[in-house]
Chain A
Amino acid sequence: MTAARPFLAALAQRGLQALIVAVIVGIVSFAMMQALPGDAAYRIAAGRYGYDMMDAAAAEAVRLELGLDRHWSVQLFAWLGALAQFDLGRSLVYGSPVVDEIAVQLGYSLLLAAGAVITSLLIAVPVGVAAGMKPGGVVDRVTLALSVFVRAIPAFALGVVLVLAFAVQLKLFPVAGFRGPEHLVLPSLTLGLGLAAVSNRVVRDAVVDAMAAEWQLFARTKGLSARFTVLRHVLRNASLPVVTYVGVQMAYLIEGVVIVETVFAWPGIGHALVHAIFARDIAMVQGTALTLGLIYVALNLAIDLACRGIDPRTRSA
């Protein structure tokens, strides 16, 4: 019971945070869409019909159909009212329910984000631990140079290089698309390499700190083997900053991988959000921003819980 109470409090706090985020994100994204220059009816008609079919008559038809001539406050309250009933409305451009659009896109985004984080951890943890065990050693210096090099390559260029090597030359993986698990490998590797270039240094620093800590010396002095000390104590202590950092990376990945999604023709929520902004699809922008906001809250909660699991000191506090 005593352990459950702070847990429930954390949950309630995050729940309240989610509600506040939902309302603020909705209002802010609405305001920003209103503030953009240009006539929304023209932009929506352009997004719907393409430049061969779009003209002023189509724009006026859109204005009438969507009620864009109503006062902005009427439009905002209509959206908030629908949101209170868990209805995100229909996409102004595609006509389909926003929830359906987001469900499809978000699923692919999460899949790619998970693939990228797993790839980055598979690379960063062994590399970072190896570098951190002997700071200033050969491994440390070589991995530092490699990290700087990989980080400096834009994701777009890295993706094309990987495609040329693994898809066109070696024919190991497909170039683009998303039909099977084999399609996930190259985009995950592209993103994972970029993430690992930074996170292996976070792992390395955490390991260096842990190795220098007094409790490490104590563990060795009381007779634990070096191997056991690392596995049991050093990794556990070092994982705290790493888990927090991976959480930040995850949030960035879900929304920030538009370029990589485009290179690999991978559907995703970042791509959808960018297109929605171009086409002035207000319902879609609000729905997407809301989903991303809530994911941030959920990620924060997940990181809190993970850190509590790793570090027993926070539980008794």
Chain B
Amino acid sequence: MIRRLCAAVFVSVLFFATPGLAQDKSRVTIAAPWEVTSFDPAVSGFAIQKLEIMENLVDADETGALRPGLATSWSASEDGLTWTFQLRDGVRFHDGTVFDSAAAAQALTRAWQQPGVLAKAPVSGVSANGHAVVFTLERPFAALPALLAHATTIIQAPSALDADGQPAALIGTGPFKVERFTPPQSIDLLRNDSYWGVAPKLAKASYLAAGRAETRALLAESGDADMVFTLDPSGFARLGDVDSVKTVAVPIPRVVTLKVNAGHRFFSDPRARQALSLAINRDGIAAAITRFPEAAAGQLFPPALSGWHDPALPRLGFDMEAAKGLLAELGWTAGDDGILVKDGERFSILLRTFPDRPELPLIAAALQDQWRQIGVELEVSVANYSEIPAGHQDGTLHVALYARNYSLTPDPIGTVLQDFGSGGGDWGAMGWENAEVADALTAIAATGDQTLRSKNIARVARILHDELPVIPIVWYQHTVAIASGLQGVIIDPLQRSYGLSKISWSE
């Protein structure tokens, strides 16, 4: 009987093992860590946009330059308070319904009323006018077209909403339509044969959310996934030796930064923040933890953020003695256990961070060790990331470590204004006000004049570099493993697209 059972197991193994493993030349499978949970662009827009299911009025290339999307042209009125976006003719949604100004205005009104980039812009109204969408503003805001290229402003078909007005389907105008969506793990795509633009070469594509970095590396190695995004350092190194895949690391405008509560008595003097910055061994962290030594952040804005990165700024240095000197100037003296003391109070602070990006707790541990050497005692709390905005709001935050994407929209001004404008921001300055920066940012937001913008951007970058309301630590690299047979792959540093519509298998 045992022999018969073993035979049955063996036969069933053979039966299961054969199908579906040969490489399919019409399909590409993407694996990434991000789960797709919802039909709502406000929640899942990042994935819907990258998979080219829905499109924006405004598109952007991989350098961040804006180009026409579902709008063919756009212009602002003389006073800068009214923007008109002329829409493309002859576009249909995946279900065959017509894309028109009413549909676009409905989707954008919904985006504006939900938390997202539009909600933070000075928008006072969205309406349909003929075959155009019109935005009215409270004050001039030159970056509006860039906001309309963001993942939360993609255009969803009105037919995708259910009776309660909740999104219940993924219906857009993009080159791929959804064949099957199994939240939160996978999306299967089919080519949209009636796409208005150049039709993709691939007939099918799939997205698989694989939360574990080990799983993603194994998917790339076995060939089960053809493009794998966000590899851990060990997986990235191992895949470098596998012949069937290429590995690529692209610098992106995301920065690991340390938010400092400048309203707290320990940090109100810029010298205290400079001391903390001087005691950070950025080269060590970049080499040992994130494993890209060239990505140590010498300044806040990374080279990937062209126009904002200033090669002329001196690199943020590492000098323990200078750090100790600055703190001594501020009246701190070493106590019995080596921790600094002033007016009977120990320099003991709490750092908040979160585990969603696995390198953050490691960097926090490195900071704990490095700051102890200048007499600063650091306690680390690894929790939900909402603890950081919550601590900002109730004022209890000391320092927080997180990764900030300065290029949520192709024009970073929206994010920078939020972070360093008047009043600071949940993910930016805290207890820090600088009228010159606030004025310069307002000027950048209001004008399209490149010379004026550049002059103001340089001022902002210089002041942030000297005053350090947030302390940059390392810049990010976007790591990707690509099957060697794929051609036409473009890795978008702005992470707006996986480029599926341009990809094909080589013969």
Query: Interface residue count for B (Cβ, 8 Å)?
Result: 69
CA distance A267 to B186 in the complex (A): 9
Does B487 sit at the interface, judged by CB under 8 A? Answer: no
Which among B212-220, B297-305, B444-452 touches the partner chain? Answer: B212-220
Once the chains bind, are B390 and A56 in contact (CB under 8 Å)? yes
Once the chains bind, are A54 and B43 in contact (CB under 8 Å)? no
Residue in chain A with minimal CB distance to B405: A52
Tell me which residues across on chain A come within 8 A of B386, comparing CB atoms. Answer: 38-39, 42-43, 45-46, 54, 59
Does A149 sit at the interface, judged by CB under 8 A? Answer: no
Tell me which residues across on chain B come within 8 A of A312, comparing CB atoms. Answer: none
CA distance A93 to B221 in the complex (A): 34
Does A263 sit at the interface, judged by CB under 8 A? Answer: yes
Does A10 sit at the interface, judged by CB under 8 A? Answer: no
Query: What is the 8 Å Cβ interface bit string for chain B, positions 426-442, against chain A (1 contact, 0 not)?
Result: 11000000000000000
- Other-chain residue from A42, A61, A95 in contact with B115 (beta carbon distance below 8 A): A61
Given contacts A38-B390, A173-B16, contact A265 B384 (CB under 8 A): no
Does A178 sit at the interface, judged by CB under 8 A? Answer: yes
Which among A161-169, A208-216, A299-307 touches the partner chain? Answer: A161-169
Once the chains bind, are A175 and B152 in contact (CB under 8 Å)? no
Does A130 sit at the interface, judged by CB under 8 A? Answer: yes
Given contacts A42-B390, A51-B356, A263-B212, contact A176 B167 (CB under 8 A): no
Once the chains bind, are A55 and B182 in contact (CB under 8 Å)? no
Once the chains bind, are B19 and A180 in contact (CB under 8 Å)? yes
Does A171 sit at the interface, judged by CB under 8 A? Answer: yes
- Other-chain residue from B1, B16, B212, B427 in contact with A182 (beta carbon distance below 8 A): B16
Tell me which residues across on chain A come within 8 A of B219, comparing CB atoms. Answer: 175-176
- Other-chain residue from A130, A172, A176 in contact with B224 (beta carbon distance below 8 A): A176
- Other-chain residue from A50, A96, A164 in contact with B218 (beta carbon distance below 8 A): A164
CA distance A73 to B182 in the complex (A): 35
Once the chains bind, are B384 and A278 in contact (CB under 8 Å)? yes
Does A293 sit at the interface, judged by CB under 8 A? Answer: no
Once the chains bind, are B218 and A163 in contact (CB under 8 Å)? yes
Given contacts A38-B384, A54-B386, A95-B167, contact A177 B224 (CB under 8 A): yes
CA distance A171 to B426 in the complex (A): 48
Tell me which residues across on chain A come within 8 A of B35, comparing CB atoms. Answer: 275
Once the chains bind, are B37 and A93 in contact (CB under 8 Å)? yes
Does A57 sit at the interface, judged by CB under 8 A? Answer: yes
Once the chains bind, are A175 and B40 in contact (CB under 8 Å)? no
Does A104 sit at the interface, judged by CB under 8 A? Answer: yes
Does B183 sit at the interface, judged by CB under 8 A? Answer: yes
Question: Smallest distance from the beta carbon of A265 to chain B beta carbons, Å?
Answer: 4
Tell me which residues across on chain A come within 8 A of B384, comparing CB atoms. Answer: 38, 42-43, 46, 278
Between A48, A126, A164, A176, the greatest number of chain B beta carbons within 10 A of the residue's beta carbon is seen for A176
Tell me which residues across on chain B come within 8 A of A218, comparing CB atoms. Answer: none
CA distance A39 to B423 in the complex (A): 23
Once the chains bind, are B20 and A95 in contact (CB under 8 Å)? no
Tell me which residues across on chain B come within 8 A of A54, comparing CB atoms. Answer: 115, 385-386, 389
Does A72 sit at the interface, judged by CB under 8 A? Answer: no
Does A264 sit at the interface, judged by CB under 8 A? Answer: yes
Tell me which residues across on chain A come within 8 A of B392, comparing CB atoms. Answer: 56
Question: Smallest distance from the beta carbon of B308 to chain A beta carbons, Å?
Answer: 18
Does B402 sit at the interface, judged by CB under 8 A? Answer: yes
Query: Interface residue count for A (Cβ, 8 Å)?
Result: 60
Once the chains bind, are A52 and B408 in contact (CB under 8 Å)? yes
Residue in chain B with minimal CB distance to A37: B383
Once the chains bind, are A59 and B389 in contact (CB under 8 Å)? yes
Does B399 sit at the interface, judged by CB under 8 A? Answer: no
Does A266 sit at the interface, judged by CB under 8 A? Answer: yes
Question: Smallest distance from the beta carbon of B17 to chain A beta carbons, Å?
Answer: 4
Tell me which residues across on chain B come within 8 A of A48, comparing CB atoms. Answer: 38, 42-43
Once the chains bind, are A104 and B182 in contact (CB under 8 Å)? yes
Tell me which residues across on chain A come within 8 A of B354, comparing CB atoms. Answer: 51
Does A150 sit at the interface, judged by CB under 8 A? Answer: no
Tell me which residues across on chain A come within 8 A of B166, comparing CB atoms. Answer: 90, 95-96
Once the chains bind, are A175 and B224 in contact (CB under 8 Å)? yes
CA distance A55 to B224 in the complex (A): 37
CA distance A38 to B392 in the complex (A): 14
Does B107 sit at the interface, judged by CB under 8 A? Answer: no
Does B185 sit at the interface, judged by CB under 8 A? Answer: yes
Once the chains bind, are A178 and B43 in contact (CB under 8 Å)? no
CA distance A181 to B116 in the complex (A): 40
Does B330 sit at the interface, judged by CB under 8 A? Answer: no
Pairs across A and B, CB under 8 Å, 26 listed: A45-B115, A48-B42, A49-B115, A50-B46, A53-B116, A56-B389, A57-B115, A94-B38, A95-B38, A96-B38, A96-B166, A96-B183, A126-B2, A126-B6, A168-B222, A172-B21, A174-B21, A175-B219, A175-B224, A176-B215, A185-B13, A185-B17, A262-B215, A265-B211, A265-B212, A275-B184
Interface residues of chain B, those whose CB is within 8 Å of chain A, are 1-2, 5-6, 8-9, 13, 16-17, 19-21, 31, 35, 37-40, 42-43, 46, 114-117, 119-120, 152, 166-168, 182-186, 206, 208-212, 214-215, 218-219, 221-225, 354, 356, 383-387, 389-390, 392-393, 402-403, 405, 408, 425-427
Q: What 4 A-B pairs are tightest by C-beta distance, nearest first?
A: A58-B115, A42-B386, A46-B386, A55-B426
A53-B117, A57-B120 known; 8 new pairs, CB 8 Å cut-off, are A55-B389, A56-B389, A57-B115, A61-B115, A96-B166, A172-B13, A262-B215, A275-B35
Interface residues of chain A, those whose CB is within 8 Å of chain B, are 38-39, 42-43, 45-46, 48-59, 61, 90, 93-96, 101, 104, 122, 125-126, 129-130, 160, 163-164, 167-168, 171-182, 184-185, 231, 262-267, 272, 275, 278
